[in-house]
Amino acid sequence: MRKLGFSNPRRADDKKRLARLDPGNPALYLMSMHLLALALVGLLAGFASGCFGIGGGSILVPILVLSFAVPYHTAVGTSLALILPIALAGSLTNWTLKQIDWNLFTVIALSGAAGAALGSLFIQAIPAVYAKRAFAIFLLYAAYRLWR
C-alpha cells in the first residue's frame, strides 16, 4: 500500500508544523490530516456530481494528482472506481424525484460500459504526461463551451 504524504514532504515548514502539533507522533497526525482531506475531497466530488451531473474525474483526478501526488493512471482508476458509490447515491435521490429518463439511461449505459472498458485499456498505453495534457485540454474546452 502506498504511503500518503504531503505533496512535498521535504518542505521544512511542513516538518516544523508537524513537530509543533504532535511531537510524539507526527505520522499519526499526518495520516489523520490526510483522511480528513480525502473525506473533504469525496464530499466535494459528491456535491459536484449531485449538482452538475459531472463525473468525479473532473474534480478527483486533478486533486489526487496535484495535492496527493497520486500517479495519473492510478488517479484515473481510483476515480472510475469511485463513480459507483457517488453515482448510486445521486441516482437514488434523483430516482425519488423522478428525474431519470430510463430510455436514455439504457442506451447510454450499454454503450458507455463498452467505451469505459476500451478507454481504460487505451489510456494505459499512453504516457502519463500526454494523458494529463489531453485531460487538461478537455477540461479547458468543456469550461469554454459551458461559459459561452
The closest alpha carbon to 109, from 89, 83, 73, belongs to: 83
Contacts of range 62-68, beta carbons closer than 8 Å, 24 or more positions apart: 62/139, 65/132, 66/7, 67/7, 67/37, 67/41, 68/4, 68/7, 68/34, 68/37, 68/38
Alpha-carbon span 17 to 26, nearest angstrom: 9
Interval 73-118: pLDDT, tens: 999 999 999 999 999 999 999 999 999 999 999 999 999 999 999 9
What is the domain count for the chain? 1
The rounded percent of the chain whose pLDDT value lies above 90 is 51
Mean pLDDT, the chain, integer: 83
pLDDT at res. 103: 94
Q: Is residue 129 part of a domain?
A: yes
Q: Which residue has the higher pLDDT, 70 or 30?
A: 70
Domain encompassing residue 139 = 12-147
Q: Is residue 142 part of a domain?
A: yes
Q: Is residue 3 part of a domain?
A: no
Q: Is residue 1 part of a domain?
A: no
Pick from 15-24, 54-63, 101-110, 113-122: least confident: 15-24
Q: Is residue 2 part of a domain?
A: no
Pick from 31-40, 86-95, 133-142: least confident: 31-40
Alpha-carbon span 55 to 32, nearest angstrom: 27
Q: Is residue 107 part of a domain?
A: yes
pLDDT at res. 1: 46
Alpha-carbon span 59 to 138, nearest angstrom: 13
Q: Is residue 7 part of a domain?
A: no
